[in-house]
Chain A
Amino acid sequence: DTGVSQDPRHKITKRGQNVTFRCDPISEHNRLYWYRQTLGQGPEFLTYFQNEAQLEKSRLLSDRFSAERPKGSFSTLEIQRTEQGDSAMYLCASSPFRDEKLFFGSGTQLSVL
């Protein structure tokens, strides 16, 4: 499968724990996006990278959230001191440099107990 890959598919954690998600975009895609989706809502933009540079972060991305994309390849999204409100589906997507069609991964479902 040469699509966008996300790991893990599901994560259950206790409040206050740290979690990290990984996204492997389609190779040669320069742009990588993170979105968050809660039940009954559409995805919400969190942040995006062009190669290794993080160019924009949403105000939804509190100080407890950090994202990286070392060497412009895979990306990680870390949430520190998780809260119950962080429970959501975290979606990664990638697109070519010209920002044409966006390709989504299957997502990581986070449940904070």
Chain B
Amino acid sequence: AQRVTQPEKLLSVFKGAPVELKCNYSYSGSPELFWYVQYSRQRLQLLLRHISRESIKGFTADLNKGETSFHLKKPFAQEEDSAMYYCALSGLTPLNKLVFGAGTILRVKS
């Protein structure tokens, strides 16, 4: 069965501190992993996907197949990063049939 676990409901950090949002998944094949973000009063939007290997707004995420993890990291948090972050998994048929985790609220304090 496909499953995504985000162990933290809330992560609170100070501005300028490093951020790591944890995501673990369960899937028997080779999944595609995503991070979605929802800022206050905005729509859910794609932040990044592992196959793109991009850094978006300073965030990166590395797929670790051995540990079945896809943690989201940023070296220096900014107040505008405060949002709800969802990790999601796709079994690729179709690509956007996603299994989401429960989400982590990131709160960046000044």
Which residues of A are interface residues toward B (Cβ below 8 A)? 3-4, 31, 33, 35, 40-45, 48, 50, 55-56, 91, 93, 95, 99-106
A107 CA / B105 CA spacing, docked (Å): 20
Which residues of B are interface residues toward A (Cβ below 8 A)? 4, 43-46, 86, 88, 94-103
The 8 A-B residue pairs with the shortest CB-CB distance, nearest first, are: A42-B100, A99-B95, A104-B44, A102-B96, A104-B43, A42-B86, A43-B100, A95-B96
In the complex, residue of chain B having the shortest beta-carbon distance to the beta carbon of A104: B44
In the complex, residue of chain A having the shortest beta-carbon distance to the beta carbon of B38: A104
B43 partner residues in chain A, CB cutoff 8 A: 3-4, 104-106
A101 CA / B52 CA spacing, docked (Å): 11
A18 CA / B55 CA spacing, docked (Å): 45
